[in-house]
Amino acid sequence: MGDDKRPPATRRDIDAFLQKAAATPPATTGPAKGRLIFALDATASREATWDHASHLQAEMFDASARLGGLQIQLCHYRGFNEFHASSWLRQSTRLRQEMTAVRCLAGHTQIARVLRHALDERRQHKVDAVVFIGDCVEEPADQLGDLAGRLGLLGVPLFLFHEGHDPHAANVLRQLARLSGGAYGPFDAGSAQQLRQLLGEVAVYASGGLTALEDFQRRQGHRRLRLGHD
């Protein structure tokens, strides 16, 4: 992402943009500003916490929808080789309906299928990011790493939210985030706020380029969106 030729945005430009974004109601008509794939693990290991997690996932949908003009595609896997991807949606009510219809079913993780799907979507049109929520990883780490790296080369960062305390899953998901230029974090009460911050940084980058993003991150005292392979 180093060959950015857009002029650097000033601090006043960034503040004005953020104030305008906060005051603008979500757009459901007109051209979309970006595309986000939102993927869920719906296997049986999450069933015990699914109802509790559902309201957090709904908050994350709302955090995404409030950016305005963002198209979101909800994906989930469960059972025996079952994978579903919704159409591209822009209304939080439709997203909630899609999510609340999902029920957990025993099966192995299909993270590779999520990543391949993201690559296929990216070949058809721009995809700005992938958000994934899951609790375990049952697939070869090298295979997943290769797919995450390909997404990183295409400018599609993975934002991975980890439910539970499985050390193997934590290690693999951290590596996938790094390879894609994305971010890793726990799936807990702060996840919706974390997603808002992540997508806020995406919005700053889209409006002002890498210089604007780096300045914004310095002012906030943290860097959630990582554009690169550091």
Q: Is residue 59 part of a domain?
A: yes
Provide the domain limits for residue 77: 34-81+89-95
Model pLDDT for residues 53-93, shown as the tens digit of each residue: 776 666 766 666 665 557 889 899 999 999 999 999 876 67
Q: How many whole angstroms separate alpha carbon 186 and alpha carbon 194?
A: 10
Q: Is residue 66 part of a domain?
A: yes
Q: Is residue 112 part of a domain?
A: no
Q: Is residue 67 part of a domain?
A: yes
Quote the tokens at residue 130: 């992938």
pLDDT of residue 205: 56
Q: Is residue 181 part of a domain?
A: no
pTM of the predicted protein model: 0.75
Asked whether the predicted pLDDT for residue 13 surpasses 90, the reply is: no
Q: Is residue 77 part of a domain?
A: yes
The structural domain count of the chain equals: 1
Residue 178 and residue 220 in contact, taking contact as beta carbons nearer than 8 Å: no
pLDDT of residue 218: 81
Q: Is 122 left (phi over 0), alpha (psi -120 to 50) or beta?
A: alpha
Q: Is residue 22 part of a domain?
A: no
pLDDT of residue 80: 95
Model pLDDT for residues 85-123, shown as the tens digit of each residue: 999 987 667 777 777 778 889 999 999 999 999 999 999
Q: Is residue 41 part of a domain?
A: yes
Q: How many whole angstroms separate alpha carbon 132 and alpha carbon 202?
A: 17
Contacts of 90 (CB under 8 A, 6+ apart): 26, 27, 28, 32, 65, 69, 70, 71, 72
pLDDT of residue 1: 38
